[in-house]
Amino acid sequence: MAPLPKRRHSTRRGGKRKAAIKLTLLGLMACKNCGKPVLAHRVCKNCGYYGGKEVVKQKAIKTKKI
C-alpha cells in the first residue's frame, strides 16, 4: 500500500504555495538593425538580423503598378 496523508492540507497552506508561482517578464530588447522590440537571443522577425548579421533572408514584398 502506498503512504497516504493523515490530514488534508488547508486552503491557506495551498494558497501559500501557489502565491510563490509568478509570471516572469519577457526579455525584450530593441533590434540593433531596425529598432523593433525583439526577444533576447533570437532573430528579429522583422528584418532577419541577429547580432548585427543577416541570418534569415527576407522575401521582397511585391508592389502592383496601377
Which residues on neighbouring strands pair with residue 36, listed in sequence order?
none
Within a domain: 5: no
User: Does residue 36 lie within any of the structural domains?
Assistant: yes
Q: What is the pTM of this model?
A: 0.54
Q: For the chain, how many structural domains are there in total?
A: 1
Q: Is 47 domain-assigned?
A: yes
Query: What's the grid cell of residue 54?
Result: 543577416
Q: Is there a domain that residue 15 lies in?
A: no
DSSP 14-37: HHHHHHT--PPPP-EEE-TTT--E
24-64 pLDDT per residue, tens: 888 999 999 999 999 999 999 999 999 888 888 877 777 77
Instruction: Give the whole-angstrom CA distance, residue 62 versus residue 6.
Output: 70
* Structural domain span for residue 55: 28-59
